[in-house]
Structure 1
Amino acid sequence: MPGPAAPRLRAWQVAALRAYDAEPRRDFLVTATPGAGKTTFALTLAGRLLERRAVDRVIVVCPTDHLRTQWADAAARLGIGLDGALSNATGPVRPDLTGYVTTYAQVAAKAALHAARATSRRTLVILDEVHHAGDGLSWGEAVAAAFDRAARRVCLTGTPFRTRADERIPFVRYEQDGDGGYRSSADFGYGYRDALRDGVVRPVVFAAYTGTSRWRNSAGEVIAASLSQSATKRTETTAWRTALNPRGRWVPHVLAAMDERITALRAAGIHDAGGLVLAGDQQDARAYATIAEHVTGEPPVVIVSDDPLAGRRIEQFASGTQRLAVCVRMVSEGVDIPRAICLAWMTAYRTPLFFAQGVGRVVRARGRAETATVFLPAVRPLLALAAEIEQERNHVIPPPAAGDGLLDVERPEPVPGDRDPIEALDADAAFAHVLHGGRAVVAAPAALSAQDEDFLGLPGILTAEQTAALLARRDTHARQRASVVAATVPSAQGTAWRAGATLRRDLSRLVAVLAAREGTPHAQVHARLRRAVPGPASAAASADILERRRDALLSWIG
């Protein structure tokens, strides 16, 4: 009986296999952009090494349990039997299988067990998304202990990475970067620019949405700031956090905009087009799901790690027709959902590696006419990361005339404002611009025909200004849909804050007047006011108490 057919390899995969065979080597690092086909390359190499009897066993280490199943299924299609469910409680590998798939967490838990499995036979170890071995010193040490004596090792990553001298990932060759750190040096690299040129990935349109966020700080002051204005890091971060609050208007507005885009794509012939909503935590993910159901009229798929059926839900969404899936980090890397063509970035994660992996979920190409759209807050950290990816696109697809990266895996330092105690009050949203050629492009004044909408984001057809104009035109409808959601899911805090903000400003002004007249400190006036009108401090007081305190001050001033 004939065996499984050999996969049809892409040009970069053939070149990488030739590079591997060019000289004998024990370690080989491949950096290939998300969606390029690293799994197929690694399993094809494994099949060749098994056929040559250079190795007798294959062990794959990946980040999550869901990816274990994905790897095992892909290997089976190539005739390589890998156990995708082998646990640390089980001793030897099944004799009828070639190897198994495990996770970095399992290796860290029992490194000696995996070392025994890797040395009992000549073994090829495939370390998928190898930067995860740098998630903690214990993981890196466990990977080194488990596979140091393996016959061969292949490391895979979607993005180059940088790390510190004392946290280098095992089996990776580094070069000094001149800043006291080390950067990975790949034996074979295949970047987004190369993949875009070959039609392996989709072009990406980054649609940035600004808005005004309003919050109350620990001193009781109500502060308003635009997402896109030049501000301190603390203010920018707090405005960003407030915009992502499910009680505000920014989230439903952007979800409505993404739903508009999905509707347009489906009308244009991509009948199964879907979108991913990337949330910061499970609580936000469930809240966003409720909003998305109000916006789209159908419940989205919710994918969180606490759900034992999360892996199955990913598979159902990948093969289904649901419009949206809301997730935290479970689909941030490695998960294959080709029909996902839109992404809403609704998390405060800002590391370059996570951004590249998240965007990588929507760039896998199925046809030349498909373009991914990423909806994101118009904040500087994200715009800078998007510009790097967009700049690579422009090297391949020159923009039409208007008239017609190294990535960091180390844990980032806390950003000012990340943990400040605040009360998020409200945030609105408005389309700001698209990124093009490293610049922010706003809507063009020229009118566009209805036919132009079919070409939104297609490379080389519309100018950046026309693309921005189409998104701006749809923004009005998105705002109307978002306002309906806000009326459907009212928030007492969101409706009461404006009156409280005005009263607090009045109190501050009147206290200053009285203190100046009497020559007493502001604190003494505040203390007297609280004795006259008992209750909490003004920052936490209700509108009723604030009104009575204002009246008392007015009577004292006369």
Structure 2
Amino acid sequence: MAAELANCLLQQGEIDLVLCFAPSCQVVEGFRSTFSRVLGKRLDGLIGAIGDACTYQAMEYQAEAFWSLLDDYRVLAVFDEIHHCAGHDPLLSNAWGQQIIQKIQDRAAFTLALSGTPWRSDDKGIALARYSEPEGRLICDYRYGLEEAIADNVCRSPRIVLLDNHAVKLTEELEDDSAVRLFPSIDQLLNESPVSYEELLRHPDMINQMLGLGIAKLDELRAIKPDAAGLVVATDVEHAHQVAFALEAKGESCRIVTNRDARAQHLINEFRSGKSRWIVAVGMISEGTDIPRLQVCCYLSRIRTELHYRQVLGRVLRRTGTCDDQAWLFVLAESTLEGFSQRVADDLPEDLALLSRVLSTAPVAGEATGETVVSFHLSNLHNHGAEHPVRTSAAPDLSLGSSDSTPTYQVSFSQRYHHQLLALF
């Protein structure tokens, strides 16, 4: 849309140049590719180009000659994912927002600020945005929501599956005794015990159950669209390797991309044009990255903000043809994430949002029956940021440490998994 708008303004003689800004290098490359195709001219900043594209991080390193273009030419400035730039109040701006206020605002002939999630988790105002008084509500000049995008066959209808368990057992092992507590749901376990959400994300039974659902759904989709793919959003590098090991144990091929890997963008580009089934990501592919063949996502990230959640959901929503109208997101039935899921459904017409409950009494195909147990030693947590040094054929050691004087908590799940489906048809 931004490229088509720029093309119209150029044809009407309203602008001379286009400058695009984005939060990541992969989005910048997307800008350059799309604008070059639509405009028939390069967007690389070299002689003869129609403009340039760069990241928000690069703005503060641009020479004054770059910014003087805004005074010497009529420039359309395009900002992708503008919510990254806090700049409504000069005193509450972040570094990127300050650059926009000082260097671009009131100097560009036209500005186009885009966001699929137009709010900030810190509640600060967004650069270039207008807010109502005194309510402080964002005033959008134009809104193209999920409802319109699905009706126009631009986006897939999301199916969000909330994974729960009706018989969670927590065993507290003391020096001379042990105590057992039962919980009817994952959310109650998290609210009424020392077990954390992130610890559950590392529980092998929970990982296997969610991956099993994702694999089964991907098999169905690939029967219709052979290159359909799945994404797993992991918590950290160590967790990503644990997930990859679990996928490989199920006979699934996968790639790992992390924000610590210098080759991450190359691997993403290979995956985008290939036919591999799964990609496991840490700090990548959550925003702006366009891999349209992604149709299934398993959300195993520790991040529980609505902005991040919707950005991840957006990775599986982009349609490529007439046979890929479904997008599937699998997530733990934790109250915050369940609320986010319901809000996504509320953005669509009520008669399209169907809430159904599907009770599964049998294990996922290929899984062993019985309970899986993992110990959580709450006194000595992992170094969750440590990088997994070597891929091995053995399952990773999930012990969180031990202490003679500290209780050990063991969590086990029965096979009474419950899947709550938010479906949009």
Q: What's the offset of the Cα at 1:225? A: 7.2
Name the count of aligned residue pairs. Answer: 379
Instruction: Report what 2:377 is aligned to.
Output: none
2: CA distance, partners of 1:221 / 1:321: 50
Q: What's the offset of the Cα at 1:206? A: 1.3
What amino acid is the match of 1:331? I
State the SS of the aligned residue for 1:119: helix
CA contact (8 A) 1:274 1:324 kept: yes
CA contact (8 A) 1:57 1:99 kept: yes
Task: Name stretches of at least 5 consecutive residues in structure 2 with no aligned partner.
Answer: 88-92, 375-392, 409-425
Instruction: Report what 1:259 is aligned to.
Output: 215
Task: Name stretches of at least 5 consecutive residues in structure 1 with no aligned partner.
Answer: 1-40, 85-92, 400-435, 444-471, 501-535, 542-558
Q: Which of the residues 111, 115, 120 maps onto 1:157?
A: 115
Instruction: Report what 1:385 is aligned to.
Output: 340
1: CA distance, partners of 2:132 / 2:173: 45
CA contact (8 A) 1:82 1:98 kept: yes
1: CA distance, partners of 2:160 / 2:302: 17
1:132 aligns with 2:79: no
Instruction: Report what 2:152 is aligned to.
Output: 198
CA contact (8 A) 1:213 1:239 kept: no
Q: What's the offset of the Cα at 1:370? A: 2.8
Q: Deviations over 1:19-42 (max 9, x none)?
A: xxxxxxxxxxxxxxxxxxxxxx11
CA contact (8 A) 1:115 1:145 kept: no
CA contact (8 A) 1:331 1:361 kept: yes
Instruction: Report what 1:52 is aligned to.
Output: 12
1:287 aligns with 2:287: no
State the SS of the aligned residue for 1:480: coil
Q: What's the offset of the Cα at 1:117? A: 3.7
Instruction: Report what 2:162 is aligned to.
Output: 208
Q: Deviations over 1:367-402 (max 9, x none)?
A: 256311111001000111111112334536365xxx
State the SS of the aligned residue for 1:134: coil
* TM-score, normalization by structure 1: 0.61
2: CA distance, partners of 1:441 / 1:177: 42
What amino acid is the match of 2:231? L
CA contact (8 A) 2:190 2:196 kept: no
Instruction: Report what 1:539 is aligned to.
Output: 406
* Matches for 1:99-110 after TM superposition, within 5 Å: 99-110=51-62
CA contact (8 A) 1:345 1:374 kept: yes
Instruction: Report what 1:340 is aligned to.
Output: 294
Q: Which of the residues 58, 62, 65 maps onto 2:25?
A: 65
What amino acid is the match of 2:330? F
Q: What's the offset of the Cα at 1:177? A: 7.2
Q: What's the offset of the Cα at 1:347? A: 0.7
1:442 aligns with 2:358: yes
1: CA distance, partners of 2:65 / 2:342: 45
State the SS of the aligned residue for 2:299: strand
Q: What's the offset of the Cα at 1:483? A: 9.2
Identical aligned pairs, as a percentage?
23
* Matches for 1:360-439 after TM superposition, within 5 Å: 360-365=314-319, 366-367=321-322, 370-395=325-350, 397=352, 399=354, 436=355
1: CA distance, partners of 2:120 / 2:198: 27
Q: Which piece of structure 1 moves more, 145-154 or 366-375?
A: 366-375
Q: What's the offset of the Cα at 1:213? A: 7.7
* TM-score, normalization by structure 2: 0.78
1: CA distance, partners of 2:141 / 2:314: 21
Q: Deviations over 1:327-346 (max 9, x none)?
A: 12321122221211100000
What amino acid is the match of 2:85? A
CA contact (8 A) 2:297 2:316 kept: yes
1:74 aligns with 2:34: yes
Instruction: Report what 2:389 is aligned to.
Output: none
CA contact (8 A) 2:225 2:323 kept: no
Q: What's the offset of the Cα at 1:326? A: 0.6
Instruction: Report what 1:20 is aligned to.
Output: none
Instruction: Report what 2:384 is aligned to.
Output: none
> Structure 1 residues 115 and 442 mapped into 2: Cα distance closer, same or farther (>3 Å)?
same
CA contact (8 A) 2:256 2:279 kept: yes
Instruction: Report what 2:368 is aligned to.
Output: 480
> Structure 1 residues 204 and 482 mapped into 2: Cα distance closer, same or farther (>3 Å)?
farther
> Structure 1 residues 338 and 490 mapped into 2: Cα distance closer, same or farther (>3 Å)?
closer
What amino acid is the match of 1:49? L
CA contact (8 A) 1:277 1:325 kept: yes
What amino acid is the match of 1:160? P
2: CA distance, partners of 1:119 / 1:213: 67
Bigger radius of gyration among the two: 1
More strand, by proportion: 2
> Structure 1 residues 234 and 476 mapped into 2: Cα distance closer, same or farther (>3 Å)?
closer
Instruction: Report what 1:519 is aligned to.
Output: none
State the SS of the aligned residue for 1:442: strand
Q: Which piece of structure 1 moves more, 105-114 or 198-207?
A: 105-114
State the SS of the aligned residue for 1:118: helix
1: CA distance, partners of 2:68 / 2:366: 58
Q: Deviations over 1:157-202 (max 9, x none)?
A: 113326778x422211112574xxx332111101112222232211
Q: Deviations over 1:125-174 (max 9, x none)?
A: 00011001139611211121121211211000113326778x42221111
CA contact (8 A) 1:59 1:118 kept: no
Q: Which of the residues 73, 78, 87 maps onto 1:121?
A: 73
Q: What's the offset of the Cα at 1:307? A: 1.9
State the SS of the aligned residue for 1:70: helix
2: CA distance, partners of 1:218 / 1:156: 55
What amino acid is the match of 1:170? A
